[in-house]
Amino acid sequence: MSKDRLRRNLLPHGNASHVQQKKGRPWIPYELELPDFWDPRVSRRPFRSYYRDIFFDAVTRHAPEVLQSLRTVVWETRGLDTDPEDLVTPWIEEHLKKRFHLTDDWIRHHVKQALSFWSTDSRWLQVVGWPSVRSSWSWSGDLPEGPSTFSVPPIQWKVCDEPWSQFKERARIVFDESLKAYRRRMTGLALSYGYRKSPRKRSWDDRHPLVAFDWLAMWQVCGCTAEQIGAEFDNDVDRNAPTAETIMDQIRWAADAIELTLRAPTRPGRPRRDTR
């Protein structure tokens, strides 16, 4: 897989106007700003659904044959009287699990979601990436309205005693102090309701921190070795190739974040590219 092909495939998912540009490998269309807290009662992993969407977009870029196989084997052969499960289940067993090493049961939801979007509106067939909706991070109950309401103490401009510039500075100080106090109050309130502070995925070099999901897709689905992945990302941000140890650490982190069962390592050589 050439670097030019990687660059052509790394396209934004849908409307990317809200996506923050990060330093290093900017053609990866991520990441949205993550919330400061997450609810462990909703998910065992913070932002698991969001990370799964990122992973499937990476799969679509690095192994477009996965989504193409779903379209040709399932979508294009379905009939009005066909039970979708009669096509989905064999495709998952014969293609998704055996060809692409995606064996976890939760993946079925994303398969059925893609088929549902295609059935609802044919324009989804033109969307780059795995069809999905990232309208929210996860469902969670709101904190009580009263204690969580932000307010600023009343402040008055003494029009005969102070110029506007002086009042504006005084108002800014009051607002900033109120904002800091509000954040402290909301942090304590969130923790008291069982929410947890969100972990942050940091990069140890200038590469995008969520490039780990690209590496996971290349390892899991394309059958690449860590050395082959490193060669693809050599000098991508004016740095040397990441070490195999770094790549595997990041792959294990990404797999744990989305609860993906990693495949067994393959022998060194060309990555498997099954295009049947």
Given this model, what pLDDT does residue 216 score? 95
> 88 and 47 in one domain?
yes
The answer for residues whose C-beta is within 8 angstroms of residue 239's C-beta and 6 or more apart is 205, 206, 207
> Is 124 part of a structural domain of the chain?
yes
> 234 and 161 in one domain?
no
Q: With contact defined as beta carbons under 8 Å apart, do 51 and 213 qualify?
A: yes
Given this model, what pLDDT does residue 133 score? 57
Given this model, what pLDDT does residue 24 score? 34
> Is 118 part of a structural domain of the chain?
yes
pTM check: above 0.85: no
> 134 and 163 in one domain?
no
> 235 and 158 in one domain?
no
> Is 75 part of a structural domain of the chain?
yes
DSSP codes of every residue in 46-96:
TTHHHHHHHHHHHHHHH-THHHHHHHHHTGGG--TT--HHHHHHHHIIIII
Two structure tokens written together for 225? 């070795």
What is the domain extent for residue 188?
A: 145-194
Running along the chain, 276 residues long, what does each successive block of 10 average in pLDDT? 36 33 40 74 80 88 90 83 83 93 93 87 76 53 80 93 95 96 94 86 66 92 92 67 88 93 72 46
> 232 and 133 in one domain?
yes
Q: With contact defined as beta carbons under 8 Å apart, do 55 and 260 qualify?
A: yes
> Is 219 part of a structural domain of the chain?
yes
Given this model, what pLDDT does residue 26 score? 33
**The total number of structural domains that make up the chain:** 2
Given this model, what pLDDT does residue 108 score? 93
> Is 267 part of a structural domain of the chain?
no
Given this model, what pLDDT does residue 80 score? 64
Two structure tokens written together for 126? 């033109």
- H or E element, residue 196: strand 196-197
Given this model, what pLDDT does residue 83 score? 77
- H or E element, residue 69: helix 65-73
